[in-house]
Each structure stands twice: as structure tokens, then as C-alpha cells.
Structure 1
């Protein structure tokens, strides 16, 4: 089976936001087996044994208890977002997103017939005054956010911003959909706990996934929320018809959670991605100097680079491809067609020598 994206021998594509195939833990799945119960229709929120193991690991990683009955398994984070659209959205509804935001999430919302309205960010995440004004003006069905190691900017909401955001959500009863797939992919300091763990009176859905911290081909993720929110998802027609999601893949991952192999893999990824982030950051710094503004990421997959002269980077993309390198133009991440002088660059998919070469190629076109 061919992967979703294949590497070119000529093009170093920093627009691709995927894990390095060389880092996927194939050996850990060589001797896997499943029992008969995992081949049957499973319970609607997902296998109880796996949810218990997942809750135990999340409790340790988050530093606060996570209960299995507040978790529902999904086929990755994209499936979780699609389920959110079914439960919270409708054609013609308005959803709020950060500006900039994850471009495929915005595509998904549009495909469901929803109107996407962008709300500005600052250096600590979503601008709360602007968000409150947008909630009052649009009465949205939900607000979508990436709180930790934001895609695309790399920003992480600090604790006070999260407290204030969830308080706003509780006061207005505007649901928050928190895409927290990078929550555990920190390099040094853990980010504050997921938004679903702040206030049970606030309608918050936190989405997690093993795609970036183990292997995307597993298509295994989870929704975290109050028991009422989990019950709402668990009683959906999709799950009443087909049973819980990912019964086989959760059976493959469960022993890795219990025997510590997953934690070892994740620690290795944190170290490697931290080194790659440093490599890309310093290579860009050396190549462009004071022409650019960027922040060194402390987790996740991306560096957000902006040219201080305001140039439109999309004008250089074809020339960059001819030079053997690609990037994601910032305006693709903006519902308002903003951030034309910015680009998103992924440091996860390539080795350090390849990242250095990619910077050299970028500099040959843009410096």
C-alpha cells in the first residue's frame, strides 16, 4: 500500500506535516495479536480495557487524574473533528477559528457547509477580547483552537490564558473544540493540562491522537470531555450501528502502554524532534538573519517564519520548488487571506542534514 505522501528524491518538502517514516516503531508491532472480543462489535465508547490503560498513561503525562469514562476512542483526530461537526455543527452554522489556524480543519468545516470566521491571536494564543466579541456577534456553534504547540504558529496557551478561555466558554456556553494532538509532544517543559480538564461546567471537547506520537497509520485517537459529552458522542448513530471505533488498533497499542514501550518511543521522538527543531531554527537564522521573525518551538512539528519586509511568499513558491524545496504559504492557514509574508515549515519529516540543505535552497530563492 502506498503512503498518503511519498518523498521525492529532488524536492525537500517542508510543507508536509507528517512524522518521519524512518522513526515509525515497526518492531513494536511484529508480535502483535488480538483476541476474539476485539474482532466483534465493541462497546460504543471504545474498548474499556484500552480506555483504562490510556487514562492511566494520560494521568501520568498530564499530571492530573484522567478517568476512563471521560474518554471515547476515534479513528484519529480527523475522525474526531468530523464527529464534532455531526454533533455540534450543521449546514449554515458559524464556527470560530484562530487566525491563523490548521488549514485542513477549516476545509473540513467548509465541506460540512459551515461558515468559518477567523479570530485574531496574540503571542499567548487566542485574543480573548476579540473572541468574546465574535461570540456575541455570531452566536457560533463552536470555537476551534489548537492550545499546545499551535498548528501553524507553534504558540502554546499559558495557564492563565487557558483559565480565562474556559471561563469565557462556561459563561457563554460556547463549546470549545480543542485540537490537542501535540499536547504530549513537548521537548522540555510540559504545557498546561488540556482544556477539557479545567471546568466541568464548560462545554469543552479535547481531541488527542497517536498519529504524531506513535504512528499515523494506526488511525487511533480519542475524545476527552465530561461524561455527558462522551455520552453524547457515544450514542451517535455511527456508533450505535457499528460499535466502538478502532477495536483492533487499540488492542495493538494497549500492551505498549502497559509495558512502557510506548513511553520509550515517545521519549525518543521528543529528543529527535527537539534536535531537528533546533537544526531548522538555527539554519534559518543563519540563512536569513534579520530578514525574518520566528520563535523557536518547544514542541510540536512546526516553525512559523515571517519576513519582516512584508513580501508575499507565495510569489516565490514556484521558484523554490524549482530549487528543490517547498513550504506552506501562511495565507493558506488564514480564513482572511492574511499572513502572506509568513510560511509554515515542518521539521519532523526530514533528518538534520536534509533540513540544513532545505534552508540552503530556501535562501537561494528568498534571501
Structure 2
């Protein structure tokens, strides 16, 4: 079986952030059919019927109106970020990012010749004083932020912080790119609406994907835009030549949204992930006590844990793999290579029993010498 990263034999790898194969809803797709127009190039922004259905569903999820004309279809979040880098920036430009941040995004920015500038975070997300100072001092191509269940820290920006971020983007006329792939994976109260929902005149792009809430193999996502920034993306020759993206995947997912099957599936998925989070969180607390500072998220995929006694997890990674457990170290997520005492653990890829075993293996690995 060829998947992006197969589960390694003998190792519980808590570093990988992808959904468990056992949770993917293959039965939902067994009776799918296509219309002839689904096999054509289609509209540049993506199939209109799909965007209208998506807009209706998002309006309910966000408890805020979403306009289908402000949506464009992508082949997933990485495709959206790549398109944004190509259309909104040039090699040598600065991009303002949180510290820490999503390591694949940092890598993608580097591949485009961009220079990520890491800005500190507080308990509510990116620090506004540092952000405004950077906006005044530099001319960044865009700001990159992860508002809900931040990867890797799990932080969720409250409403006021989101409004202030959008206001800064509008004031300085700097595009604000919000990576919001975990927005719908809440385990209790919903997070505030995505950043593209606040000011119709602010240059904001909110990125979503079905990879985390349905199936990554669909290669299907969306961008919600505000301000006048969306035409910059749709003006790419990619769309002039090939039409809209993912017409077949859009046709497969549209009826699942329209008939409520996606929503029903999401209810169960949130329960599964919430149980896995609790198992990993409680297991770490039981096995490590005060040696670990653990930021417990209210949704998403990840736990961000920091050793309070100076332990540096990356120094033990090779031994960890020999003992049957793995993780991603903090410096991977930092443009400044900081956070040596931290590691990111994913609770989405493994069932609860395996997460319990992983906690025990971590406890043995990091037992006090």
C-alpha cells in the first residue's frame, strides 16, 4: 500500500500529522456518480455548484455568512500556499511568521526564495507589538498565521486578537494568509470565525482543506478571500490554461456536504480525536508530572510539550526510535531554530491503546538519569 508515510513497524511515530487510515470514510464514496461537466475544465475559481454548496455549509459552521464568489477551489493546503508564494511574492521577499510555525510552510517559503522572519507568540497567538514593528520596519510580501489550534502549539487566537490582526493587515496593506485547516476540528466550543470573515476590505486569505476533516487523498481544499486580493491568484496562467482545480473531487464531495453526510462524519471524527487527545494528555501527565509543560488544545491534531528541566528531545531521537517511539523536535518548527526543550506530538494517527504505549516508552526514554 502506497500512502504518504506508512506507519513504521515497531515504532509509534507521534511526529507524523496525518489522519488514521482506519478513520477514513471509504463507505461514503462507494455510490458516487459524476456528471459530464465534472470531466471538463470548468470555471477558473472552481465548480460553481460546489462553491455554492461549500459556502452554505461554511456559513453554518462559521456562524458567519460566506459568499461563494469569495471562494476558490484548490488541490489542498500545500497547493494554496504554493500558489500564494508564486503570485504574491518574489525571491528575496520577507514573510512574517509565528515562532514556532508549521515546518512545511517554512520549507515551502524557502523553496520560493523567501525569507521567513520569526515573530514571538503569547498565549493568544502572534504578538501584535512585534508584528506591527516588523510591518513598519520591513515590507513583507505577506503575513502567515495559524489562528485555530495552531500547529505546533495548539493555541487558538481569541476574537479580539483576530480583529486586531485583520486591522493591521488593512492598515499596512499587507496580505494576511491564515492557515485554517483545523478550524472545523473543535472538541467543544467553536473557535471564532476565520480571518477572512471580519473586514471585506482587508487583504486576507483563509485557507481550508478536506485533508484533515474528510480524506487527504481527495486533494481538495479552498481559499476564502476578502479585499481585492483574490484576482491576483486567479490571474495565474495555471487557471487560464487548465480551468478550475479538482473538478472530479469537487463533484464527489459536493453531495456529501449537501445531504449532511460530511457533517455527521465530522461529529464522530471530533469525538474520536477528543478521546485520543485525552488519552495522550493524561498519559503524559501521569508518566512525567511537572517535568513537562503541556499546552492542551481544544481541537486540532497536536500536543506541544516542553521539558521544564532542560531536557532536549532531539538529542534522544535516535535512541527513541530504537526504543519504539518517535516525535518531532521543537527546532524543526522555528525559523530561528529555537525551542530545543520542546517536541510536537500528534494524537490523530494512532488509536488510544497505542498512545498509552507511546507514553510509557517516552517515560522510559526520558527517565531521570
With the shorter chain as reference, the TM-score category is over 0.9
1:261 aligns to 2:261 (yes or no):
yes
Q: Which residue of 1 aligns with 2:92?
A: 92
Q: Secondary structure at the match of 1:95?
A: strand
Deviates more, 1:338-347 or 1:219-228: 219-228
1:121 aligns to 2:118 (yes or no):
no
Aligned mates of 1:133, 1:232 — CA distance in 2: 27
Report how far residue 88 of structure 1 moved. Answer: 0.8
Q: Which residue of 1 aligns with 2:134?
A: 134
1:63 aligns to 2:63 (yes or no):
yes
Q: Which residue of 1 aligns with 2:184?
A: 184
Q: Is this contact kept in 1: 2:211–2:217, CA < 8 A?
A: yes
Aligned mates of 1:348, 1:183 — CA distance in 2: 15
Q: Is this contact kept in 1: 2:152–2:302, CA < 8 A?
A: yes
1:45 aligns to 2:45 (yes or no):
yes
Report how far residue 235 of structure 1 moved. Answer: 2.3
Aligned mates of 1:44, 1:235 — CA distance in 2: 9
Q: TM (normalized to structure 2)?
A: 0.98
Deviates more, 1:185-194 or 1:303-312: 303-312
Cα offsets for 1:269-323 (capped at 9, x unmatched) = 1000001001100000001000010122110000000001122211111111111
Q: Which residue of 2 aligns with 1:333?
A: 333
Report how far residue 230 of structure 1 moved. Answer: 2.6
Report how far residue 131 of structure 1 moved. Answer: 0.7
CA RMSD of aligned residues (A): 0.9
Q: Which residue of 1 aligns with 2:153?
A: 153
Report how far residue 227 of structure 1 moved. Answer: 6.7
Q: Secondary structure at the match of 1:294?
A: strand
Deviates more, 1:194-203 or 1:104-113: 194-203
Q: Which residue of 2 aligns with 1:287?
A: 287
Q: Is this contact kept in 1: 2:47–2:244, CA < 8 A?
A: yes
Q: Secondary structure at the match of 2:5?
A: coil
Aligned mates of 2:189, 2:39 — CA distance in 1: 40
Q: Which residue of 2 aligns with 1:318?
A: 318
Q: Which residue of 1 aligns with 2:111?
A: 111
Q: Which residue of 2 aligns with 1:2?
A: 2
Residues 79 and 228 from structure 1, CA distance in 2 versus in 1: closer, same or farther, beyond 3 angstroms? same
Report how far residue 173 of structure 1 moved. Answer: 1.0
Q: Which residue of 1 aligns with 2:32?
A: 32
How many residues are paired up? 367
Cα offsets for 1:120-164 (capped at 9, x unmatched) = 001110000011111112211101000000000000000011111
Q: Is this contact kept in 1: 2:204–2:227, CA < 8 A?
A: no
How does 1:268-283 map onto structure 2 within 5 Å? 268-283=268-283
Q: TM (normalized to structure 1)?
A: 0.99
Aligned mates of 2:194, 2:186 — CA distance in 1: 13
Q: Is this contact kept in 2: 1:45–1:230, CA < 8 A?
A: no
Aligned mates of 1:201, 1:52 — CA distance in 2: 22
Which consecutive residues of structure 1, in runs of 5 or more, have no partner in the other structure?
A: none
Structure 1 stretches (4+) deviating beyond 4 angstroms?
none
Q: Is this contact kept in 2: 1:279–1:355, CA < 8 A?
A: yes
Report how far residue 232 of structure 1 moved. Answer: 2.4
Cα offsets for 1:339-365 (capped at 9, x unmatched) = 000000000000000000001001111
Q: Is this contact kept in 1: 2:201–2:227, CA < 8 A?
A: no
Q: Is this contact kept in 2: 1:44–1:235, CA < 8 A?
A: no
Q: Which residue of 2 aligns with 1:224?
A: 224
Aligned mates of 1:314, 1:299 — CA distance in 2: 26
Q: Secondary structure at the match of 2:45?
A: coil
Report how far residue 31 of structure 1 moved. Answer: 1.1
Which consecutive residues of structure 2, in runs of 5 or more, have no partner in the other structure?
A: none
Aligned mates of 1:31, 1:229 — CA distance in 2: 38
Q: Is this contact kept in 2: 1:310–1:341, CA < 8 A?
A: yes
1:205 aligns to 2:219 (yes or no):
no
Report how far residue 192 of structure 1 moved. Answer: 0.4
Report how far residue 229 of structure 1 moved. Answer: 2.5
Cα offsets for 1:153-210 (capped at 9, x unmatched) = 0000000111111111111111110000000100001000000111122111100000
Q: Is this contact kept in 2: 1:69–1:227, CA < 8 A?
A: no
Q: Which residue of 2 aligns with 1:303?
A: 303
